[in-house]
């Protein structure tokens, strides 16, 4: 290290602020339903069901206002195994981030699958939710998914 480099100053710069989120009429209903152990999607004019509920159809641009309840079980569409979770992960034993397509839905949702081995995971494997005992109208009202055996 040259002398010039050692003289360069450094100081901590902490930045934090508690933002508020207004989730709007569509996502609010989705999260409310989660707290009641229900999975809601929105349906477009041609019957395509978006789960999680979407406010706007990305292809037709229509505003989606019709809700449909889908089954809380679904299949794994894709996954990424986390063998050694870091402290910031929500699950501290090996788990997978997964895209889950609920039965009755046409799109998939990002969540986690736990209590399984990496070798259990495959496209099409059936999963079911483990509900939180303390729902807060948030996505973690589902703690994670487990294999439906």
Residue 29 carries which DSSP code? H
String marking each residue 81-110 x if it binds another protein according to CB under 8 A? ------------------------------
Q: Do 34 and 135 form a contact (C-beta atoms < 8 A)?
A: yes
Strand stretches in 5-147, DSSP E: 39-43, 49-50, 66-70, 74-82, 95-102, 109-113, 126-131, 142-147
Binding to another protein (CB under 8 A) within 25-64 occurs at 25-27, 54-59, 61, 63
Of 47 and 58, which has the nearer Cβ to another protein? Answer: 58
Q: Do 68 and 43 form a contact (C-beta atoms < 8 A)?
A: yes
Asked if residue 8 binds another protein (CB under 8 A), the reply is no
Q: How far is the CB of 11 from another protein (least distance, A)?
A: 3
Give the span between the Cα atoms of 82 and 104, in whole angstroms: 28
List the one residue from 1, 5, 7, 11 that touches another protein (CB under 8 A): 11
Asked if residue 15 binds another protein (CB under 8 A), the reply is yes
List all residues 6 or more positions away from 68 whose beta carbon is below 8 Å from its beta carbon.
40, 41, 42, 43, 49, 104
Of 13 and 86, which has the nearer Cβ to another protein? Answer: 13
Residue 128 carries which DSSP code? E
Give the span between the Cα atoms of 3 and 117, in whole angstroms: 53
Of 62 and 118, which has the nearer Cβ to another protein? Answer: 62
Of 26 and 98, which has the nearer Cβ to another protein? Answer: 26
Of 20 and 88, which has the nearer Cβ to another protein? Answer: 20
Interface residue list for another protein (CB under 8 A): 9, 11-15, 17, 19-27, 54-59, 61, 63
């Amino acid at each position: 290290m040259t002398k010039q480099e050692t003289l360069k100053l450094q100081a901590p710069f902490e930045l934090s602020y508690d933002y508020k989120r207004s989730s709007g009429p569509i996502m609010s209903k989705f999260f409310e339903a989660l707290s009641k152990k229900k999975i809601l999607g929105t349906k477009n004019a041609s019957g395509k069901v978006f789960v999680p509920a979407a406010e706007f159809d990305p292809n037709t641009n229509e505003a989606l206002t019709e809700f449909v309840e889908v089954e809380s079980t679904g299949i794994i569409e894709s996954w990424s195994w986390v063998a050694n979770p870091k402290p910031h992960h929500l699950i501290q034993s090996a788990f997978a981030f997964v895209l889950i397509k609920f039965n009755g839905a046409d799109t998939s949702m990002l969540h986690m699958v736990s209590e399984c081995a990496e070798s259990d995971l495959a496209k099409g494997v059936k999963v079911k939710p483990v509900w939180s005992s303390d729902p807060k109208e948030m996505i973690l009202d589902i703690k994670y998914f487990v294999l439906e055996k």
